[in-house]
Chain A
Amino acid sequence: MKIVIVDYGMGNIKSLVSTLQYLGADDVLLSSEYDILKSADKIILPGVGSFAKAMSQIKQKKLDVSLQDIIVKHKKPLLGICLGMQLLGRSSSEDGQNAGLGFVKGDVVKFDNSNLKVPHVGFNQVKINSNLKLYAGFSNAVDFYFTHSYKMVTDEVINQSYCDYGGDFVASFETGHIAGVQFHPELSQHNGLNLFRNFIDRF
């Protein structure tokens, strides 16, 4: 199993690599090279940090072009995590208005309820549908670790699962071979390990 983590120079990927290795993935690579990404069985788009900075790094490494080809045209399975999920959307209002990769019709906005503490930090329950590939084997509400100030909104039907923080927001989606999770499965104990197992086995 060859899993390539997209390298655009941002965030802590050590826990992600360690998790995938723990699950028995024998070939875990970090790369931004087209050929290496193309040769992967699965691709993970990680991300911690600001949307604007991330998109500028992605463009600089021409990853927008590579990923369009590998993910959209050649349908390689992809999991976006946290900012990595948000980057799959059309746009974000973090640090001005910025365009995303546009693989799904999602727009990223800030939590705006003044009664809420922002960022949204900690474990929160995701209301899941166990018919989805990501959540096979799980039952109704599952705790995952979140840490974010922005959330994705979408009108598209992309098998969203929701989590409640001052109202429901998109905690994950999966559409064909592309999935995104707003939470960090690599920081979510056994629940996260099971989710990665599903991504590896079912996508």
Chain B
Amino acid sequence: MLRKRIIFTLIHSQGFFMQSRNFRLQKVGNLNWLEKNYQFQKIAFSLDELIVLDATKTQKSITEFAAIISNLVTHVFIPIAAGGGIRSFEDAELLFNSGADKIVLNSVLVEDVHLVKRLIQNYGSQSIVASIDYKYNQGVCDVYIHDGNTKIDLSLEEYIQYVESLHIGEIYLNSIDRDGTGFGYDFDTIQRIEKNLKVPLIIAGGAGNENHLLEGLSSIDVSAVATANLFNFIGDGLPKAREKILESGENLANWNLLY
């Protein structure tokens, strides 16, 4: 049986990893800090996948970001998806060559369909994750691009249909309202859209403890749960969460064979 996945999302900006709350960024530490506090290579053994996003608000530098990815991937034997600021074929190529197994696209899904198609033709659908940011304004669910700054004209349902029609491989659905709050995932929205999806769904925004992850995993049409909450899962928080979730009988992969 296909297993469900636990994904950690690292939010990067200008050499530092960030805690994001409703898309406002707070600096936490650099790669050394991450290594010291997370012993990342060890922690990676309790993750199914890693997503690294460059959320720099000003001019993003894809070469600096690619260097961070390249450092991060050494001796981490899990899939890594990277994105944030991909605007050209060369940007994507650089991330793939720096160790990304998949790339995450957001704004270009709206602004450069030709690029999206070219990337899919070269790297295949399974290498492309479509990141969708949304939030509610007076009860209406709006979709945003440009790091949550620009609202687009389609409803969430329409937009999901649209990105699926581009033949992307997976959807990373992120609630701006829940982002970094630790209040749990936005199940009202997730339950509304999950049934009709043709591609795997990764949910993000709101997870603050292992019960939230578990709640997400038990949702039938959710393929993966993601958290970017560095504070709540610091130290051995993640390995312990995975252990508890496995004990509860949830359908996660086993790597108990020691190497």
Contact = CB atoms under 8 A, between A and B. Distances in A.
Interface of A: 10-12, 14-15, 18-19, 22, 48-50, 53, 83, 95, 117-125, 138, 142-143, 145, 147-149, 164-165, 184, 186-194, 197
Contacts of A184: 79, 101
B200 A190 contact: no
A190 B121 contact: no
B136 interface: no
Contact of A53 (B73, B121, B125): B121
A60 to B, nearest CB: 15
Nearest to B169: A119
B255 A190 contact: yes
A194 B127 contact: no
Contacts of A164: 1
A49 B259 contact: no
Interface stretch (B2-10, B29-37, B181-189, B227-235): B2-10
B257 A194 contact: yes
Contacts of A123: 2-3, 5, 48, 252-253
Interface of B: 1-5, 45, 48, 70, 73-80, 96-102, 121-127, 169-170, 197-200, 223-224, 252-255, 257-259
Highest count of chain B CB atoms <10 Å: which of A83, A119, A148: A119
A147 B77 contact: no
B48 to A, nearest CB: 6
A12 B257 contact: no
Nearest to A193: B259
Contact of B124 (A19, A120, A149, A165): A149
B74 to A, nearest CB: 6
Nearest 10 A/B pairs, CB to CB: A123-B253, A143-B253, A14-B99, A119-B126, A189-B255, A123-B3, A190-B259, A147-B126, A193-B259, A187-B79
Contacts of A120: 2
A119 B199 contact: yes
26 contacts: A12-B101, A14-B73, A14-B99, A15-B99, A48-B126, A49-B127, A50-B123, A50-B124, A53-B121, A118-B198, A121-B126, A121-B223, A122-B2, A122-B4, A123-B3, A123-B252, A123-B253, A125-B1, A138-B257, A145-B253, A147-B79, A147-B101, A189-B253, A190-B257, A190-B258, A193-B259
Contacts of A197: 259
A98 B77 CA distance: 32
Highest count of chain A CB atoms <10 Å: which of B1, B125, B126, B224: B126
B199 A117 contact: yes
Given A15-B76, A123-B5, A123-B253, 20 more contacts: A11-B96, A12-B100, A48-B101, A48-B124, A48-B126, A95-B121, A117-B223, A118-B199, A119-B170, A121-B126, A125-B1, A145-B48, A147-B126, A187-B78, A188-B255, A189-B45, A189-B77, A189-B78, A190-B255, A193-B259
